[in-house]
Amino acid sequence: MFGVAAGLILLLWVALAKTNFLVFAVVSVGVVGSAMALSFLKIGGLGLPQVLENFVSFFIGPKVYLWRKKELPPQILWKKPEEKRKKEEPVSAELKIAEKSRLSQVATNIETKR
């Protein structure tokens, strides 16, 4: 990178140094600063050339939108009044007892990976 910067500064010397030294000096400082940034600057663990490549490819490349929320008009759901029970059935006093506990069934399913 510094070789490219040196070659560019040499071309600037030939083109600008004899006519306008101040412009040559300002542009040369910019070229050297750019070369140092491209060589040594890291952003988020990536070098500046990689960051610039990602930046350009993001703006030029196609975009994929995975989800778009559709604007739907709000819906009104009317709740029907509950019908009153005429006669409630008596609750049986018998308890239902399972043959095996639910925890045992879950443990068996986990062990057999079902």
Query: Are the C-beta atoms of 31 and 8 separated by less than 8 Å?
Result: yes
Residue 48 to residue 38: CA distance in whole angstroms:
5
Domain ranges of the chain: 2-60
Residue 73 to residue 77: CA distance in whole angstroms:
13
Query: Are the C-beta atoms of 47 and 41 separated by less than 8 Å?
Result: yes
53 pLDDT exceeds 90?
Answer: yes
The confidence score (pLDDT) of residue 51 equals: 92
Give the model confidence (pLDDT) of 19-48 as tens digits.
Answer: 888 888 999 999 999 999 988 989 888 898
Give the model confidence (pLDDT) of 57-111 as tens digits.
Answer: 999 988 887 777 777 787 888 887 776 655 556 666 676 666 667 788 888 888 8
Give the model confidence (pLDDT) of 3-22 as tens digits.
Answer: 989 999 898 888 887 888 88
Amino acid type, 108: T
The confidence score (pLDDT) of residue 85 equals: 58
